Amino acid sequence: MRILQGSCLCGACTYEVEDDFEYALICHCSQCRRATGAGSKPFAGIRAERLRVHAPERLLRYGESGESGEGERGSHDGHCARCGSLLFSLVRKQRYVHVTLGTLLDSPTIRPSAHIFAGSKADWDPICDGLPMFDAFPPD
């Protein structure tokens, strides 16, 4: 299995993940927009145990009491505690991680297949790639 490397902006938080993602999507929900500072968050989903964070003590976990990560208790976003880069979100009853594609140093095999929460996207951010759009996750 090919292993992909990932990193935050400053390089203090690094990780590796298998190039065996189950799905890849582009999220337009308000939480992802605020977490990234962008119009959307491209991510790929994989079982949580397949992500290995180097030096996990350098991670800032946001939302462990349920205010992020699909609103489930225990779900959280993993940010670099130094530069703030969003590396992943622990979701789906803590069984999956949504790895932010922009933090991968290596190119994954998978490509996003759809936009989710497109109905609440920012009006200044047009979707022009022709991918299907859905108002929820997972796409129905």
Query: What is the predicted pLDDT for the residue at 94?
Result: 92
**Sequence spans of domains, the chain:** 3-120
User: Residue 106: its pLDDT value, please?
Assistant: 97
| Structure token pair of residue 98 | 């949504």
Write down the pLDDT at residue 63: 85
Cis-peptide, bond into residue 138, ω within 30° of zero: yes
What's the pLDDT score for residue 73? 62
pLDDT number for residue 120: 93
Topology (CATH) of 3-120: 2.170.150
Query: How confident is the chain (140 residues) per 10-residue block, as mean pLDDT?
Result: 97 98 96 93 98 94 60 79 96 94 98 96 95 82
3-state helix, strand, coil in the chain (%, to 5): 15, 35, 50
Total-model pTM? 0.89
Beta bridge partners of 27: 41, 116
Element (H, E) at 98: strand 96-100
